[in-house]
Amino acid sequence: MRKIVIIDAVFDDMNNCAYLIFKDTDEHFQLQVSKDVGKRAALLLYNAFPLNEKSIYSSFVRLADGFGFKIDSVVLTADLKSEDTAKLVISQNDKTIELLMDSDDAILVALISRAAIFIDDDSGYDDVENDLISNWCNFFSKVL
């Protein structure tokens, strides 16, 4: 299973764009986005959450934290992807809970809580990196 984490947003003033930097298991890759999307991604990454405080996403993360739960990761698989869902993995002490939720919601919760996003290589993805980049490009355009 591949672990992919968004680690930074870098701004390129000369080309009037931004790059989201992703870290794969042993390599980095980047996605070019508009400066506006880059700013919003940076706000998420550095916990200056741009959506309003009553957002279901920030409330979910605070509620989980208040009960001692840690949001570990999001797992994307091809069979789940076709239904636009993902598994959100939450742990408390030695217990683990998996929740099925909308993939965009799960990715946003993962970003807010700085959790890793895993992709199941054996699940039918032909080109994981390109598929992920196009999905996240759509995600950032739609949600942020």
Assign 51 a pLDDT band (cuts: 50, 70, 90): very low
Please, what CATH class does the domain formed by 2-143 belong to? alpha beta
pLDDT (average), residues 119-144: 54
Return d(Cα 106, Cα 128) in angstroms, integer.
18
Residue 140 in contact with residue 33, Cβ under 8 Å?
yes
CB 63 within 8 A of CB 49: no
Query: Looking at the predicted structure, is the pLDDT value of residue 50 above 50?
Result: no
- Strand pairing class (95-102; 85-92): antiparallel
Amino acid, res. 79: D
Q: For residue range 13-34, list pLDDT tens digits in order.
A: 888 888 877 776 677 777 777 7
Cβ atoms within 10 Å of 143's Cβ, excluding its own:
16
pLDDT computed for residue 121 by the predictor:
56
Structural domain boundaries of the chain? 2-143
pTM above 0.75, yes or no: no
